[in-house]
Amino acid sequence: RIKAIRGSVSDTVWIPDVFGYSQCLPQIFYLAEIPNFFTTKILWSTITKFPHNSFVWTGPDGESEVLAHLGVAGYSGKVSLKEVIIGGRNYKQADVHNEVLCPSGYGDGGGGPSEDQIERSLRLQTSFAGDLSPACKWGTSDSFFKRLASVKDELPIYRGELFLEYHRAVHTTQSDFKKNLRNCERALQTREAMRVISANYTPLNMRENWERYLFALFHDATPG
């Protein structure tokens, strides 16, 4: 779908609002030929602070890897002077790469930046020019990662899961909703398993079924 919109597949896995990641993901990204990964919430941990912002995330096989960036400014930035200054000060890899990715707009609602945010971004490009705050300019995630890749050999290497010490589960008072989701998943798995048991290896067109189910697994939807 991204390819249909922009003419090519994105080189970046963009998942800002998730509560942790399995250590096998670098292998999956590598096999999918996606070199970059962006997220943010891992920096919210309450006790053990994650040590890096930009790093090379390596899979358990020791070979597959993805270039990762944890957004210092979150994922629904307001393009304020305070955000820009804090983002620049808190960037842990500033010694090898002097640029941070600052997503802006109303991300939780699927919206983009407001007129006020765009106006502030334009003023930040010209008003301070990097003297009192970091210089700002619009760009794309893919172009950001291309510049980050130029210092890849100087970035720290991390192996293991990305664990968030904050949100520990998705709880709900609407148990029937989660029960129905689980029954849906079991039905889809059973349908595929029964075809294998019966030696019927003709591929099933279940993409729409799985997509509808997976879309409903969003953590703000499963609580009901």
What count of other Cβ atoms lies within 10 Å of the Cβ of residue 203? 7
**What pTM did the predictor assign?**
0.83
Catalytic residue among 17, 108, 116, 153: 17
Report yes or no: 59 and 24 within 8 Å, Cβ to Cβ. Answer: yes
Each residue of 205-214: pLDDT tens digit?
Answer: 888 888 889 8
Report yes or no: 11 and 36 within 8 Å, Cβ to Cβ. Answer: yes
Each residue of 39-80: pLDDT tens digit?
Answer: 999 988 888 999 999 999 999 999 999 999 998 877 788 888
Between 159 and 104, residue with greater pLDDT: 159
Each residue of 142-158: pLDDT tens digit?
Answer: 999 999 999 999 999 99
The reply to whether 17 belongs to the active site is yes
List of residues 6+ apart from 135 with CB closer than 8 A: 124, 125, 128, 129
List of residues 6+ apart from 144 with CB closer than 8 A: 69, 99, 101
Residue 174's alpha-carbon distances to 84, 171, 182, in angstroms, are 40, 9, 13
- Residue 110 pLDDT grade (very low, low, confident, very high; cuts 50, 70, 90): low
